[in-house]
A = this chain, B = another copy of it.
Amino acid sequence: MMNRRLLLQAGLVGAATLSAPFLIAANAQGTGTTGQKRHKIVIQVSDNDPAKWNLALNNAKNLQDDVGAANVDIAIVAYGPGIGMLKLESPTGSRVADAMKANVRVVACENTMRAQKIAKDDMLPAISYVPAGVAEIMKKQGEGWAYLRP
């Protein structure tokens, strides 16, 4: 869990005379077993606009391509006017399926579904659900995830 970079910034690495030595690096984002920093990002989709849905999917792919798919956790959370991205008839349905195959987590907001009288049967298969999309987005940030709103 040590974060060497933070320690270096604090001028602590090489501090040789500590006598009850202990060093603490406590940032919210952990590191992988290789020491490579693991990236985490939640992508918000809240517009009723297929161009935005495609942009969100492009963004997810570009993130994976840039840092390596194995090095980044991505969750796309659709809520409010963005929920259409995840409905059966969504024009981005096949791209959403591709994203899930590539280990992007795709999440729909049940609050929104209730308000818009949408059942799970009306939604794309294999997506995930949370009670409140906005709460998911808030909690993820509290756990150190970055935020992106395309």
- Size bracket, chain A contacts: 35 or more
For A28, list chain B residues within 8 Å (CB): 6, 27-28
Out of B30, B44, B132, which one reaches A63, CB within 8 Å? Answer: B132
Prevailing SS type, chain A contact patch: mixed
For A11, list chain B residues within 8 Å (CB): 1
Could you give 27 example pairs across A and B, Cβ below 8 Å? A1-B30, A3-B30, A6-B25, A6-B28, A7-B25, A10-B23, A12-B25, A15-B22, A18-B22, A18-B23, A19-B19, A20-B20, A22-B22, A23-B24, A25-B25, A25-B26, A26-B26, A26-B27, A27-B27, A27-B28, A28-B28, A55-B80, A55-B81, A58-B80, A62-B132, A63-B132, A141-B147
